[in-house]
Amino acid sequence: MIKQKTFDLLDAHLRRENDFYNNLDYDKRQVFYTHKTYRVDPWWANKKYEELKEEAFNWSAPIKYADLKDFNEHISTDDIGIYLFVVSPKNLIFNLPQTVLYVGISGDKGKERPLKDRLNDYYQISKLEKRENIHKLIQLYYDDLYVVYTFYKGDDYKDLLKIETALTEFFSAPYSDAAYEPLTKKSRSLWK
């Protein structure tokens, strides 16, 4: 469990960065908020859906990142799983815009690392700063960032990696650079 003092330091660190971005003039803000390219390809999403439709996902309710201190409050098991970082503004029309920015897993490389431990890493500054891409995502979207997760009941981590890749491709998650298929990675390098 993260102690209140530790959480307060993390919150102050991320809030300061988020406030910096939110207080920029429109033109300057766009430099930071438009640096990622987002692909919309219904044919490809349908293809990835076909790969995923047999999975028994039981997604959690969205959990606001800025309000949570400890995933042990939500996850009591040592199961591995899949998680999404989703940005969702306060005001929505037709339940939109909400965007999956990142797809992640615990238990990769054959490790039995529990999902709650993996998610708790995102509340430790030292671990967060080592993951520059995720650190930037959280700084930019701190007040509008949510986490959803599901457990993985399979026993083959290679299948878990395939699910991570298919979900990354399905959502076109712009901060999940490493999880894309080789052809998509090649195409994404052309977008930049």
Tell me the pLDDT tens digit for each residue of 115-135.
888 888 888 888 888 888 899
Q: What is the pLDDT of residue 94?
A: 85
Q: What is the pLDDT of residue 181?
A: 67
Closest CA to 37 of 163, 177, 161, 135: 177
Omega cis (within 30) before 62? no
pTM here? Answer: 0.81
Question: How sure is the predictor about 145, in pLDDT bands with cuts at 50, 70 and 90?
Answer: very high
On the question of pLDDT at 102 being above 90, the answer is yes
What is the signed CA dihedral for 124, 125, 131, 137, rounded to 10 degrees?
Answer: 100
Q: What is the pLDDT of residue 67?
A: 86
Q: What is the pLDDT of residue 24?
A: 79
Q: What is the pLDDT of residue 190?
A: 47
Tell me the pLDDT tens digit for each residue of 43-87.
888 888 999 998 889 999 999 998 887 777 888 888 889 999 999
Neighbours of 180 (CB within 10 A): 18
Q: What is the pLDDT of residue 83?
A: 95
Let me know: does 13 contact 125? Beta carbons within 8 Å: yes
Q: Region 2-25: what's the mean pLDDT? A: 72
Tell me the pLDDT tens digit for each residue of 15-30.
788 778 778 787 776 6
User: Which two structure tokens, joined as six digits, stand for 37?
Assistant: 């390219």
User: Which two structure tokens, joined as six digits, stand for 113?
Assistant: 């690392």
Q: Which amino acid is at 172?
A: S
User: Which two structure tokens, joined as six digits, stand for 84?
Assistant: 């999404």
Q: Region 150-159: what's the mean pLDDT? A: 86
